[in-house]
Structures are given as structure tokens and as C-alpha cells.
């Protein structure tokens, strides 16, 4: 599920960038991009919680360090975009 949401978030972001460059109203595409990005993160956290519940430690050790690195790199920049 998170893959589908991620692809939709990427497509909405590119539509947002196109509309911005074209000088058209891009607010809906921007909201969709941000919303689907948040839904992607929620789906990923849900998947990790399922792995914890079934004690799939190999999957957790494979995915969680990469998620932590990506989120700790991206999230601080989101607050400074004002």
C-alpha cells in the first residue's frame, strides 16, 4: 500500500511543480502531494508495527535504519521551508 501512496505523492508533486512553473493555481496539487506523503509515512509506520507484532526482527533491522536516516535528513528541512 505504501508503494502506491508513494507513487501518487511523487506524481502529485511533479504536477505541483509543473503548475507552479506554468503560473497556474497549484494549491490543490500541493495539498495532494503533502497529504499523500503523510499517508505514505503512516502506511510505512503501520507496516513496521505489524512486523513488531509478529516479531519479524530481520525485516525491522533491514528497514528501520534506512527509514531513520531518510527521515532525519528530510524532516529538519521541512520546518525551514517558510
In this predicted structure, the answer to whether residue 22 has a pLDDT above a threshold of 60 is yes
Q: Which helix (H) or strand (E) holds 70?
A: helix 57-79
Q: What is the pLDDT of residue 44?
A: 85
pLDDT confidence tier of residue 21, bands split at 50, 70 and 90 = very high
Overall average pLDDT of the 5-18 stretch:
93
What DSSP character marks residue 26? -
Task: Say what angle helices 27-53 and 2-22 make with each other, to 10 degrees.
Answer: 160
Residue 23 DSSP SS3: coil
Contacts of 13 (CB under 8 A, 6+ apart): 29, 33, 37
Amino acid at each position: 500500500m505504501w508503494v502506491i501512496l508513494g507513487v501518487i505523492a511523487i506524481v502529485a508533486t511533479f504536477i505541483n511543480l509543473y503548475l507552479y512553473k506554468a503560473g497556474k493555481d497549484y494549491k490543490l496539487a500541493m495539498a495532494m502531494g503533502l497529504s499523500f506523503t503523510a499517508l505514505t509515512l503512516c502506511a510505512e509506520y503501520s507496516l513496521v508495527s505489524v512486523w513488531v507484532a509478529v516479531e519479524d526482527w530481520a525485516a525491522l533491522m533491514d528497514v528501520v535504519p534506512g527509514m531513520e536516516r531518510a527521515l532525519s535528513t528530510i524532516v529538519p528541512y521541512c520546518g525551514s521551508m517558510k
